[in-house]
Structure 1
Amino acid sequence: MELRDYIRILHKSWALIVAITLAGMGLGALATIFATPQYQSSTQLYVSVRSEGSQTGELVQGSTFARQIVASYVDVVRTGVVLDPVIEELNLQVSSGELAEFVTASSPLNTVLINISATSSDAQQAADIANAVGESFKDVVQTKLEATNASGQSPVQLTTTQAASVAQVPTSPNPKLNLALGLLVGLALGVGVAILRSVLDTRIHSLHDIEQITEKPLLGGIAFDPDTKTRPLIVHADPRNPRAESFRSLRTNLQFLNVGEGSRSFVITSAGPSEGKSTTSANLAISLAETGARVVLIEGDLRLPKVSEYMGVETGAGLTDVLIGKADLADVMHRWGRGQLYVLPAGRIPPNPSELLGSAAMDRVLAKLNDGFDYVLIDAPPVLLVTDAAVVGKKTSGVIMVVASSRTTKQGFGAAVRTLETAGTNILGVIVTMLPTKGPDSYGYGSYGYGHELEAIGAKEKRRGRFRGKRGSA
């Protein structure tokens, strides 16, 4: 994954990340509220070694010996020999091992000081324990650990330099620290969940997802419209709708598509069902006809035709009747709207759609339509369900793949591309449908390298008459 992918993930999942981060801070706040306050008090002991004389060498040796034994003394503080007397003195209902969990001892480096700290939910008790442990430790060292001299004194002397006092403020919980930890943990967890969800998501969302599967160009993006099912034809019904603008941008890109000197006949298909290929075919045909070009839209899905339903044309006779010689092409074509747009419905559903679409009769129909129209659009069934799109695609300029954002899977699209390439079908480009109007994957002019510049060029060329079209008959 590249940096832009991580940025897109953060942009797309910012709400999830914020929610998890706030949850982490909430847990930190709850931990602060429900935690029992703990108080800590400390006492400090100074370790010295008695010297028989006052010679400088003896003083140095005593000081060095004191620093050496301090490290060992620190480990003794939390043992039973020191803590048992404290338990008895303060009448504590714990064992020496349990009390040791609340007592700490340390010595600053290269010093003869020992710091003893005690923690308790009672501030007074913490101070009492710290002082009692200090006194017990002094007694243990001077009476049990170090041998006394001839005068009955221990050569090691421990002096309390600072007695433990009652703490006024608890050391824990620390509200600021808990909230900061909750924030950091929640943020890290939120980002991790967002990235994991993106990695496990096999659906196509962006141009980068398509580029990983095929090098074919992206011809356009169609904005998502929740009213598509009730209003599939949007170009003429609501010209200012973002979805209508999407089809006009697609029309411009299709006009400049380099397909050589041959015909402009295109098969429009998708990997699977419900990806918007039929509505894309219909609206693209309408937008092309608005330029003054002669356009024919063929309902090539002979299994589950939808174009005739969207366009509102009679389906009693159509392409299948022409292919089996039961009707003439001119008799079954329907003129649609005020422009030069004609619709050729599927006709009766045949038992052998692939054979009919791959027949010589289909070659003759396409040849006649290519001579009489500027654009021939064929709405074909999904590639992964049947072979119809691959069969008829070899008879045209090429196939245009429709991919539904957040619905089409990468595996499905990749399989469809491989199927068409194996069949020797030319894939001209990709159209992404159902693009969100907001967010990192949203549709917008220039989002994928196309924009107002192409629209301006298309309008200029139209005025020059470059797209006047051929004036043949249907």
Structure 2
Amino acid sequence: MFHLPKKPDSLRDTERHLITLTNPKSPIAEQYRTIRTNLQFTALGAELKTIVVTSASPGEGKSTTASNLAIVYAQLGKRVLLMDCDMRKPTIHLTFQLVGTQGLSTVLAKRSSLERAIQSTQVPKLHILSAGPIPPNPSELLASPMMRQVLNDVKGMYDLVILDAPPLMHVADSRLLASEADGTILVIGCDNSNRDLVLQAKEQLVLSGANVLGLVMNRRERTSTDSYYSYAHG
């Protein structure tokens, strides 16, 4: 049985989360462009076609980071696909004000084609593959041969694929995805992260064979709804 995600959130929430789109000249948006530049240097000439964005725990800003990174890469002229692989608590379709009736879960279950499930956005060159209806077996779907086929297909269609993955210390989904991707970014909410959990999360990534590109530190001011980000090589 699949459960439909919630209806899209408010426009105000969209504007808050997509700062690189709504206020591209802001210092926060500039930080995302800096992260993009640092990732390009970190790659050391290797082509990064698939990047997993995850965190140790919920609420650390991984989905916001994935969304804004996807936007700044698209603004650079790259063909970008943002995939919501958090099939337990999907949010990408809410952020971009899209429907969630088709998506990754229906593609993996062979209930819809990849082409029909991918949605365009207001950002030129940026497309979204939402999580789709919430399935009863996310880990099994993500570990399936069909998931590998989907990744191979989208790598041929886009310059960059960014995967928004679930928190590492709650389910095995992110480790499965990280082992298949070219690189992984770990997002840390500096005001609410548990240091031990972060270290365990990074260790789990290394043990899974992931290429840890670095850490994105989300410094959230308590008096503001805006988030400030910095990047550190892992």
**CA drift at 1:324:** 1.2
1:401-444 alpha-carbon deviations (Å, 9 max, x no partner): 0011122121110111122222222222111112559xxxxx79
- The 5-angstrom pairing of residues 53-64 of structure 1 reads none
**CA drift at 1:249:** 1.0
2:105 corresponding residue in structure 1: 320
Partner amino acid for 1:298?
A: M
Normalising by structure 2, report the TM-score. Answer: 0.86
Distance 1:310 1:229 in 2: 5
Identify if the C-alpha distance between structure 1 residues 368 and 448 changes in structure 2 by more than 3 Å, giving closer, same or farther. closer
Identify if the C-alpha distance between structure 1 residues 417 and 393 changes in structure 2 by more than 3 Å, giving closer, same or farther. same
Identify if the C-alpha distance between structure 1 residues 435 and 371 changes in structure 2 by more than 3 Å, giving closer, same or farther. same
Structure showing greater Rg: 1
The one of 56, 61, 66 equivalent to 1:276 is 61
More helix as a share of residues: 1
Structure 2's unaligned 5+ residue stretches are 1-11, 223-227
1:423 partnered with 2:208: yes
Normalising by structure 1, report the TM-score. Answer: 0.43
Partner amino acid for 1:370?
A: K
The one of 25, 36, 48 equivalent to 1:240 is 25
Q: Which runs of 4+ in 1 moved over 3 A?
A: 227-230, 259-263
Identify if the C-alpha distance between structure 1 residues 400 and 296 changes in structure 2 by more than 3 Å, giving closer, same or farther. same
Percentage of identical aligned residues: 36
The one of 125, 134, 151 equivalent to 1:366 is 151
Identify if the C-alpha distance between structure 1 residues 274 and 448 changes in structure 2 by more than 3 Å, giving closer, same or farther. closer
Identify if the C-alpha distance between structure 1 residues 363 and 262 changes in structure 2 by more than 3 Å, giving closer, same or farther. farther
Identify if the C-alpha distance between structure 1 residues 314 and 448 changes in structure 2 by more than 3 Å, giving closer, same or farther. closer
1:345 corresponding residue in structure 2: 130
2:80 corresponding residue in structure 1: 295
Distance 1:379 1:287 in 2: 16
1:250 corresponding residue in structure 2: 35
Contact 1:263 1:370 in 2 (8 A): no
Structure 1 counterpart SS, 2:168: coil
Structure 2 counterpart SS, 1:272: coil
Structure 1's unaligned 5+ residue stretches are 1-226, 438-442, 450-474
Contact 2:67 2:82 in 1 (8 A): yes
1:335 corresponding residue in structure 2: 120
**CA drift at 1:232:** 0.8
The one of 305, 311, 317 equivalent to 2:90 is 305
**CA drift at 1:372:** 1.4
Distance 2:229 2:57 in 1: 25
2:162 corresponding residue in structure 1: 377
Identify if the C-alpha distance between structure 1 residues 349 and 280 changes in structure 2 by more than 3 Å, giving closer, same or farther. same
Partner amino acid for 2:41?
A: F
Partner amino acid for 1:284?
A: L
- The 5-angstrom pairing of residues 219-230 of structure 1 reads none
Distance 1:298 1:252 in 2: 21
Contact 2:39 2:213 in 1 (8 A): no
1:127-155 alpha-carbon deviations (Å, 9 max, x no partner): xxxxxxxxxxxxxxxxxxxxxxxxxxxxx
Distance 1:327 1:444 in 2: 37
Partner amino acid for 1:403?
A: I
Contact 2:32 2:229 in 1 (8 A): no
1:88-147 alpha-carbon deviations (Å, 9 max, x no partner): xxxxxxxxxxxxxxxxxxxxxxxxxxxxxxxxxxxxxxxxxxxxxxxxxxxxxxxxxxxx
Distance 2:94 2:115 in 1: 20
Aligned length: 217
Contact 2:215 2:232 in 1 (8 A): no
Specify which structure has the bigger relative contact order, considering alpha-carbon pairs within 8 angstroms and separated by 6 or more residues.
2
Distance 2:72 2:47 in 1: 22
